[in-house]
Chain A
């Protein structure tokens, strides 16, 4: 919150500004604590696994898909990208911008060729089918009598 914003308002009413500040602080301290993950610039991820595949989701609004890179190597998924910020005179700035990078380790190897990703309404969804070579196989036990 810059002091510039207090004076930019032509109808500067001291008491109203103090009330407003009080409300802003209230809002700051009552915000959901899980928001902290986002405030630190790393996009938060949710992941699910089944026997055959994994699904990874992340909320990264306002990204151009050409600024997003998803790569897979063995069990590791890497998501890198950047969010550009608008030029202008900011009265309030809460949204993060800049580069980000997340790497996660999956419980099985994934075939890069079968990975699918979609980006809708600012949510990235990555579908990662398990690699054939990493699927459990029944091992016959040789039993000598």
Chain B
């Protein structure tokens, strides 16, 4: 019997890492798991946030045989459309213990501003 259904196995060279997004009064906090690296490219282009990180992958270990391999480190890549009220200039990023933390503050303009009405 011939196999007519082909399983889609993308030859992906990157992982889509897990992300948590928290909302608070001042804006959003984004947490992304990027173990194995301490530098991430954070770029905003036309309202889209691009996160990319390269991970060094050891081809093998001299003198060692693999006993079991449950994961294979790859580079990370993920993008998000930013909500319109995020102040792109004020995005702050830190990385610690393989976790990227982005603070996405809300723009001042997004907060309601009272306009004074002057009467003559």
Contacts and interface: CB of A to CB of B under 8 A. Distances in A.
A45 interface: yes
B93 interface: no
A38 interface: yes
A142 interface: no
A88 interface: yes
Given A9-B83, A62-B33, A95-B20, A35 B15 contact: yes
Contacts of A61: 33-35, 97-99
Interface residues of A, number: 46
B85 interface: yes
A54 interface: yes
Contact of A46 (B18, B24, B66, B110): B66
B84 interface: yes
B98 A122 contact: yes
B64 A49 contact: yes
B46 to A, nearest CB: 15
A46 B64 contact: no
A47 interface: yes
Nearest to A105: B67
A118 to B, nearest CB: 12
Given A32-B16, A59-B71, A90-B20, A50 B97 contact: no
24 contacts: A10-B85, A32-B12, A34-B72, A45-B68, A45-B70, A46-B70, A47-B66, A47-B67, A48-B65, A48-B66, A59-B35, A59-B36, A61-B99, A62-B97, A88-B29, A89-B23, A89-B24, A90-B21, A92-B21, A95-B20, A104-B68, A121-B37, A121-B38, A122-B98
